[in-house]
Each structure stands twice: as structure tokens, then as C-alpha cells.
Structure 1
């Protein structure tokens, strides 16, 4: 058997990158029996059944360091969460969902705002930077049109396995085409009618970078579900809450209706973004209600 990494999965076939080249593989039936689905990013061992035509079978899957559900990808180091300044306008509740899911997997997070050339006076960008930099995140504004900060994106990607995540139409594939000229990813325009992008990426795939490392270009999503997150743990994924631990109820405080809550006081004092706190309460209520949005 030889070792490799799944870089693409389509229709039950898994494409495994190894030191001997790329193999098209099926997975053993035991995985289906045990309800295990191989993921892009999985480190695997394969049995070669046809060397000439590069065919094989996935025999073993190593334990995963991280696992994202949407997008379905394993063993990522860093998440670049990509939203547009305009066209489409950023849905901050959706952005916060991506952040929560990345925080849950303990990924390093960088927030990328694209199409900043459309923000002629810079007010939208300033507002968003105020929210997310104050929350503890690195924010990189980019413009493919102006070639703005493309080098900064390359630095974030270098030597890492990175997931590009975000809704459709924000320019993820276009940005990757700028980062590495060897990429020829399909891009789509934003629908004038519904103000959402057309899905141009149909599956998760790891792409090798000239600058080193790998990046996952993933399908866009209009909503995310917060599976396996309890209402008592959600606060852990809003990292700006961490330093306000003087609450009367201590670790039992969920920062909602409790009196003398330091987090709520910080919101009132504008030390914590009101919009971020409102996102937190919205997600808290959705978790309680067991809502599932697809």
C-alpha cells in the first residue's frame, strides 16, 4: 500500500495524490458499512490495483485533525472566510456562522473582503473592519480589479492547507485565479434578480499552490447549520467574550438574561460589537429551537 491525500471526490471516486502520482480510487465497502465517508483532505492508504491506469482502492483513513461539515473537508489548518463588500452585500449572520464552525475546529481564521473597489468612499470596509478586527480577527481587503493585497493572500496560503469558504458570487474562484495563474477556475456573475452568485464550484477540491501548500476551492452556500453545538458552548466560539469572565454566574452565564453580565455590559459600552452580539443571540435561539436551514 502507498500513502497519499484525497484531493478530490466525485461520484464515489476519490482522487488520491501520492509520491507516485495521482490515483483514481474507490473506497472499500467497509467504510459504507461503518457509515464513514472519505473526505477531501483525508490522509489515506491505498492499494494499487492497476498501476498503468493509476487505479486503486482506499484501504485506510488516518485519524482526522479537523473536520468541517459544510464544506466537507478534513485536515485543514486555516480558514479564509471570503465575503464581498458589495454585490452581493455581506450577510453578517452568515459570516458569523462560518466563523463559529471554524472556531469549533480550532482553525486559524482570516476574514477576506473582496470587491473593495466598489466601496468608493471606504465606509463599508471601515465598518466591517471595526467589527471584526475588534473581535480579534485578521481582516484583509482585496480587489482583483485593482490587484489589491493579492500578495497578502499568498502569504496566508503559503505552507498551509487552507479552505476558502463563503457564499456564492463573492469572488473566491476569481481570487484564487489571481493568486495562482496556473488555476483556471470557472467564475460566475451575480444574478441581478436574486443578488446571489451562481454556483461555479460543484465540489470541494484541494489545489496545489505555486507558493507552497494547498487550498480548497469549495461550493458556496447560502446558509449553514450549526450541528453538534450546544447552547452552553456557543459562547466559546465568540472569542471576544473571553476576557469578560467576571459574570456573577461564572462559567454558567450564557450572556443573555443573567443580571450583572459583563458581556452585556461590554456590548452597552461598545467594547463588543452590538451586531456580533445580536448574531450570537440569533444563533443561540436557533440552536434551542432545533432549526435546520438548508
Structure 2
């Protein structure tokens, strides 16, 4: 039996594809490994105890089988509330340098609430977020004006926001400069073009894509499992399946406003220490909103999140 270290490349259930390294951290290729059941019992609040991007210790057995013996401590991870009635949280990717929320200007249209929930999660888990608006070739004048407003809004909050199109080489080159030599993850609804972007920025990657449904204007799921992919120009990118909802986890209602940068100063002027900034008198956040110092859409997103956290 030989013990080696590796990194989770893909998870398909109880089996994992792992990139393994030798003593000087050079890749030896990938191998399939099994996760013993004891790891699944350790944390009942997490639907997947092992995520793409995790570093692990493996035992390579003489019969050719491989099992995961230890999961290294994570530097960080990005998570969302488990779906389909399951309890707890789902870890989307671990040990990443930056997380991209990908939206498309049309087919399907931008969901600002999705973006804001994503940003709150990044603030809570101390991750660097990047907003990426795709399909700018479909924008038209009205769509371009809308995206320009979003750029102005999110840049004023010190967030990085980019736009791109697979038909605009300059925008793809700009995106590559942000991805180079980093481990990044693409997260967004189906149909926004996450995989298409990936296929165009790296000719060595050929991930399957599908068209957006003309009937529902929603994306069709093509990427089934998250996968950590090496980029030829340096770095790694996690391509994830499309998700329709981004539920918040491990955030209490009273602390939600801490993850809205524009509310940090106004909340100091609230009369009540436990102010929810939704209805209380002499609330600094409500006053800032009424004075136009907090964007109406962002405040509406805050109220929706607050309501969901109270349920």
C-alpha cells in the first residue's frame, strides 16, 4: 500500500476522481477513489462531506483500488442551502481563490436577487466574488444600458463586475487575465453559458453544452457534476451544474446587514441594537434607503433574504 496526496477533481456520488501528486507536488494523473462511510456520518448538516477542490490523503492498494483516508482542512469553501427537501448545506467547491456568479443578459435574463444572495455568501465566507454578465451579443441598446447600470452599482460597492460574449475575443481575453494562475469557480443558473465560456477560453476543454429552451426561456442542465478543470494558461476552474436557487445557510437574521457593504455605516445609527432594518423607528438603514443612499433593488433583495431567514 502506498500513501499519496491528491485533490478532488470530480464527485459522482460515493466515488471520486482525484488528481494525485508525487513527493514534489507534480501531477501523476487521476485515479478513482472511494470515500469510506465514516466520513458521511461525521457531519449530518452537510449533504456532501467531500467537495471538488478538497485536498485529501489516499491509500493506493496493491489490488489497484484506492480509498480516501483523510480530508485536509479547508482554506475556504462556498456553500448553499441543500435543495429537494434535504436538510443542511451543500458545499459547491472548496479551496478556491475567487468565485464567479455568472448571469446572462438574455435567455435567461439576469436575476439580481441571485447575484445578491451569492454576494452575501461570499461576504459571510470571506471569499472574493466576481460578477460575470454573459451573452452581451444579445443585449441590444436596452440590455447594454441595463448592464451599464449594474456595473455602476456593483463597482460603487467595490465588487468586480465583468461582461463578455463568446463572440467577443477581447472580453474573453480580459476574463482570462482574471482567471490566470488562480483556482476559480463558475456558479449560476442553467443556460447562462458557463460551459460555453469555458470551452472558448481553453481549446483543450470540450464540455457538453445545450441550447436554452425556447418555451420556458430557461437553461437545460448539461453539466451534471462539478469538475475541477486545469486551464492551459495557468490556474483551475470549477465548472458547476446550473442551479436555480441560491439559498443562504449559517446566517442569522440579525447579522444579514453585516454582509451588505452599503449598510455597515448606516446601521450604526439605528436606535435599537437588534434592529432588522425593515420596519423599526429611527433606523439608520431605512433612513439611508429613503434618502437614496442605498439602491432600491439592493434593499428589496435584503428584505427578501431577511424574510427567508426568518422562516
For normalisation by structure 1, the TM-score amounts to: 0.91
Q: 1:215 aligns with which of 230, 234, 237?
A: 237
Corresponding residue number in structure 2 for 1:43: 55
- Gap change, CA 1:195 and 1:148, over 3 Å in 2: farther
* C-alpha RMSD of matched pairs (Å): 1.8
CA distance in structure 1 between the partners assigned to 2:280 and 2:291 by the alignment: 17
1:93 CA displacement: 1.1
What's the counterpart of residue 99 of structure 1?
119
Q: Among 267, 270, 276, which residue is 2:292 paired with? A: 270
1:191-206 to structure 2, matched below 5 A, reads 191-206=213-228
Q: Is the 8 A contact 1:131 1:276 kept in 2?
A: no
CA offset at residue 245 of structure 1?
4.3
The residue aligned with 1:9 is 11
State the alpha-carbon separation in 1 of the partners of residues 234 and 244 from structure 2: 30
Determine whether 1:30 maps to 2:30.
no
What SS is found at the alignment partner of 1:206?
strand
Output one character per residue of 1:194-226: Cα deviation in whole Å (capped at 9) or x when no partner. 111001110111001112121100011111221
- Number of aligned residue pairs: give it: 287
CA shift digits 1:165-216 (9 cap, x unpaired): 1111111111111211111111121111111100111011100111212110
* Partner residue of 2:100 out of 69, 76, 80: 80
Please give the TM-score of this superposition, normalised by the length of structure 2: 0.86
Which stretch of structure 1 is more off in the superposition, 135-144 or 168-177? 135-144
Q: 1:156 aligns with which of 178, 193, 218?
A: 178
| 1:168 to 2:190 alignment | yes
Question: Residue 32 of structure 1: CA displacement?
Answer: 2.6
1:21 counterpart residue number = 29
Which residue pairs with 1:292 in the alignment?
none
2:153 paired residue number: 131
Q: Unaligned 5+ residue runs, structure 2? A: 22-27, 81-90
